[in-house]
Structure 1
Amino acid sequence: MLETFSGRTLFLLFSVYFSQGFRQFGYFATSLYLKLSFGMEFSENQLIQTMILLAWNIKPIYGLISDNFPIFGFHRCGYLFLSATIGTISFMTFFFIQNLTASIIALIISELSQAIADVMADAIVVQESRKTHIEGSDYLQSFCWFWLALGAITGGLLGGFSLNFLSPNNAIGVQVICPILIMIATFLYPEQKSTDHSSCSSFCYKLRRLFKLWSKPIVFKVMIFNFLNRATVPSFSMLMFYFYFDKVGFSKEFTSALTTISFIGLACGSFVYAKFFTKIAFKKLMFWGLIFITFFSMIDFLLIFGVYKDIGIKAEYIAVFSTFIGNIADFTIRMMPTLVIASLLCPNGSEATLFTLFNSSNNIGISVSSLLGPMIANTLGIYNANNPNIWILFVIGSLSNLILVLFLFLIPESREKCSVEDEKLAQPLLKN
């Protein structure tokens, strides 16, 4: 890979994605912080954390601004430095505050920081992917997701252990090392200074061109699919967290370790996809994959109904197996195909903007999924993990995976059909 991509470029991508993953160090701490310090049940906790993540839903705005208005002549490094600065400040505040409103604001700003860095890294991935033929995007995406997964594994393991001697708010604050790492990598990245002097008129021109690009069938369909990919499956992630913690009785360390295991699965998934699935048509992979995910997800019923006690298997083993295999499947089947399609559809000059439009449609779908889960739970009168009817929620979650099969017609059949030239979209967004 070093023969194609420079070491400094790979180090920058490593710093952004590893930092993004390492922030799992504070994920469990954040959930505990809201649960223990403010007495939140799972629905409230999930709604608050969905609100905190809203910064990821407006990523196209960061991309559009960075594509058109460089900071000191740099389209990527200027914004990476800005994001690292506000991220450092937001995490530092957790060493001094323990107030709900102030904590939520600081968490929102920290997510804004990481979202901006993610947009810049995504743009660099798209730019660098053009240095090889079609499969360059596959390899670079796998590289980035591998380091994100490894960062999450490291952060998750250390995060659970740290709660033995750190308060939840201090554990959140320790994540300040993430934006500091990105700041260091930014100074090393060899970005060429832009000679494009943007103005309001050129910005408006590019915005009009972007809307024309967005309105093209192949682009619009993929964005709709990205949204449905997540929105059609209601999320009960916080319910599962409370279920493990309150009902099954997992320890803090083990519950945190499950997050780590999920990212080990993600890391393995990046290898599995790059090794075995790059030649398989997107629709074929997702069709059979979604069927597998639907049936495999029902393994959680062994925990919900207490069957593991009857068959003599420890609950921890089932949780580890379900989390590990489930995340490999989710990554290789739901995530990688859409990421590859998105990167191949981006024309020159709009990498940050268009790629983040694709990703934001996915993030908005995640937000809808996260809101839909508590809404369904509240409608059914299920307010905590001790309710005997929680199995209904997991049936709904499992079967809803099949809904996406009805919308596979929205995505291209193969990589060769992902080129913007197929839709006559090759005109650059950057005006000379």
Structure 2
Amino acid sequence: MQRNDVRRQAMGLGETVRLGFLFGAIYFIQGISDPNTGLLSQPDNSLLRDWGKNTRQVATFAALLGLPWCLKPLFGLLSDFVPLGRYRRKSYLIATSLTALAGFAALYLTPLGEGDERPLLGWLMLASLGIIFCDVVVDALMIETSQPLGITGRLQSVQWAAIHTGTILTGVVGGILSEKRLQKAGFLICSVLMAATFLLALLFIDETPRPPTRNWRGSLRKLKQTLKSPAVRVVGLLAFVWSFNPFTQSVLYMHMTEALDYSEDFYGKTVSLIAVGSLAACIAYAIYCPRVPMRSLVHLSIVAGVASSWVYWYLPDPKAAVAVSVVSGFCYMTGSMVLVDLAARACPLDAPGTLFAVFMALCNLGAAAGTWCGGALYHLGRSWGSVASFDALVFIAGATTAACWLFVPWLPKQLLGLAEGPERA
């Protein structure tokens, strides 16, 4: 009996490692291909700036591009309750990777000139929708695998480490593409990567075929009850407020390349340095998260979030900008890891894709709103001078993150005291 138990544990560990590598590969590609934060982010901003757009307009473009992330709950419902063909996950991964591939390929083949913001936004949104749906499906697979084993934090660390490994590359390459005005090459690279995701889904996702959920109405009623639970509401509110940060990459890009006159190449390198700090935070979180209770981690996430913004007061010196980028990336990702871990622990196993998508949609809604507000505030405040406007925005960003402490007392005690294992709302 003991030998059989050991064998089952070894098989479970092997499956978790296999899925970890699979998730890592898909998230590595997502980290590069995501139009909002990946390889195309800086080249797109550079293209818009060349077309004469100001900081507010560039930030508005980024906010609009981020809005499709708010559709994640809809994609979660489809993946959880409406199989495509005979599968809940595999078929959707194949279809969504092809959708993203189509969006990037269209941009590569379509001539773009000044004033073509709409086709640029439209095709990027199509690609973004495919990547977002893919993200939802992989998140659901992650929760189904990791929550029963109590390893949500570690597997989240693997996924986010893969994303930021990709981002390290995108910062350097994105800076080169921007400097040399090679946006088309970026669209081609992303097309090839989404083709790789298609092959991964087709060949390496092993899923048992299943019929459509017969009692889907009962499942939806249960999901509705879950959404009304205090744990879900408070975690969702905390996710929104933590993500509502007016200090965004769009503002940072415009401030560094215009007000501080840093080169596109230098800015791209700082993006890679942010990713280096983020990668270090992911690795560190995988080590200490099983040993530290969630109540302490939540407070750590808020402190880290405030620090990730306020450290940019030291940006104007180029040498300091290098250290600022690494520290900011480490602090911001530390807070983010706690947040996604908390959200994953609060998800019920009968609809993990949907509920986790709700939490992440609230994060993305908060981020999109913060992006728009940050661009508008920075633009309005430039009458004081670019540096004064930037410093004021940095202060506001830290203050909004600190407001998360108002909601911590409302988090369920059981969830806060959980060091490892699932918390079912």
User: Into which bin does the TM-score normalised by the smaller protein fall?
Assistant: 0.7 to 0.9
Q: CA 1:187–1:338 in structure 2 vs 1: closer, same or farther (change >3 Å)?
A: same
Deviations 1:366-395 (A, max 9, x none): 1121122134335x4437984654332222
**In 1: Cα distance, 2:62 partner to 2:294 partner:** 32
Going from structure 1 to structure 2, the CA distance change for 1:293 and 1:52 (only over 3 Å counts) comes to closer
Q: Aligned equivalents of 1:335 and 1:303: distance in 2?
A: 22
Aligned to 2:161: 146
Aligned to 1:64: 77
Over 3 Å counting, the alpha-carbon distance change for 1:375 and 1:120 in structure 2 is same
Alignment correspondent of 2:3: none
Contact between 2:172 and 2:272, CA under 8 Å: does it hold in 1?
yes
Return the offset for 1:4: 3.4
Q: CA distance change for structure 1 residues 417 and 109 in 2, over 3 Å: closer, same or farther?
A: same
The verdict on how the C-alpha distance between 1:170 and 1:273 changes in structure 2, with shifts beyond 3 A counting, is same
Structure 1 residues 51-60 or 246-255, which shifts more? 246-255
For residue 312 of structure 1, what is the aligned residue in structure 2?
Answer: none
Structure 2 residue aligned with 1:17: 27
Return the offset for 1:9: 2.6
Partner of 2:338: 337
Which residue matches 1:307? Answer: none
Aligned 8 A contact 2:168 2:276 in 1 = yes
Change (3 A) 1:351 1:368: same
1:106 Cα offset (Å): 0.3
Q: Quick one: which amino acid aligns to residue 328 of structure 1? A: F
Supply the distance in 1 between the matched residues of 2:308 and 2:147 (Cα, whole angstroms). Answer: 37
- Whichever residue aligns with residue 296 of structure 2, its letter is K
Query: Which of the numbers 197, 204, 215 marks the counterpart of 2:228?
Result: 215
Alignment of 1:17-56 (within 5 A): 17-23=27-33, 24-36=38-50, 38-56=51-69
CA distance in 1, matches of 2:82, 2:345: 24
Deviation at 1:3, TM superposition (A): 3.6
Match of 1:429 in 2: none
Alignment of structure 1 residues 70-149 onto 2, 5 Å: 70-95=83-108, 96-98=110-112, 99-130=116-147, 132=149, 134=150, 136-149=151-164
Q: CA deviation at 1:241?
A: 0.9
Q: Distance in 2 between matches of 1:139 and 1:49?
A: 31
Q: Which residue of 2 aligns with 1:414?
A: 417
Letter in 2 for 1:346: C
Change (3 A) 1:363 1:405: same
Residues 162-183 of structure 1, C-alpha deviations (whole Å, 9 max, x = no match): 4455522442342112211110
Residue 196 of structure 1: CA displacement? 2.6
Distance 1:390 1:143 in 2: 34
Query: Quick check: 1:192 aligned with 2:195?
Result: no
Aligned letter for 2:269?
A: A
Instruction: Tell me which residue corresponds to 1:274.
Output: 286
Alignment of 1:219-298 (within 5 A): 219-231=232-244, 233-288=245-300, 290-291=302-303, 293-294=305-306, 297-298=309-310
Letter in 2 for 1:110: A
* Superposed displacement of residue 131, structure 1: 5.6
Following TM superposition, by how much is the alpha carbon of 1:295 offset from its aligned partner in structure 2, in angstroms?
A: 5.3
| Aligned 8 A contact 2:43 2:181 in 1 | no
- TM-score of the pair, normalised by structure 2: 0.87
Structure-2 residue corresponding to 1:182: 197
Report how far residue 419 of structure 1 moved: 4.3
Q: Report the alpha carbon displacement of residue 84 of structure 1 after superposing the two structures with TM.
A: 0.8
The alignment partner of 1:239 has SS state of: helix
Look up the match of 1:400: 400
- Residue 225 of structure 1 deviates from its aligned partner by 1.2
Q: C-alpha distance in 2, partners of 1:298/1:68?
A: 43
Structure 1 residue identity aligned to 2:257: F
Equivalent position of 2:366 in the other structure: 365
* 1:414 maps to amino acid: G
User: Distance in 1 between the 2:147 and 2:315 partners?
Assistant: 47
* 1:247–1:94 distance in 2 versus 1, CA, 3 Å: same
Structure 1, unmatched stretches of 5+, are 305-314, 426-432
Which stretch of the first structure deviates more once superposed, 396-405 or 158-167?
158-167
**How big is each residue's C-alpha offset from its partner over 1:149-194, in whole Å with a ceiling of 9 and x where there is no partner?**
1111122222222445552244234211221111011012343333
Instruction: Kindly indicate whether the alpha-carbon contact (under 8 Å) linking 1:137 and 1:340 is maintained by their aligned counterparts in 2.
Output: yes
Residue 271 (structure 1) shift? 1.0
Letter in 1 for 2:294: F
Structure 2: 5+ residue runs without aligned partners? 1-9
TM-score by length of 1: 0.86
Q: What residue identity is the alignment partner of 1:168?
A: Q
Query: How far apart in 1 are the matches of 2:83 and 2:183?
Result: 38
Do the aligned partners of residues 262 and 41 (structure 1) sit closer, same or farther apart at CA in structure 2, a change above 3 Å counting? Answer: same
Question: Deviation at 1:44?
Answer: 0.7
Distance in 2 (alpha carbons) for counterparts of 1:11 and 1:303: 36
Deviation at residue 78 of structure 1 after TM alignment: 0.6
Check conservation: 1:239, 1:384, Cα contact below 8 A: no
Quote the residue 2:5 is aligned against.
Answer: none
| RMSD (CA atoms) | 2.5
Distance 1:131 1:4, change over 3 A: farther
CA distance in 1, matches of 2:284, 2:20: 21
Residue identity matched to 1:51? L
Query: Which is worse superposed, 321-330 or 282-291?
Result: 282-291
| Pair 269,302 (structure 1): closer, same or farther in 2 beyond 3 Å | closer
- CA distance in 2 between partners of 1:370 and 1:303 (Å): 20
Does the aligned pair in 1 maintain the 2:346–2:423 contact within 8 Å?
A: yes
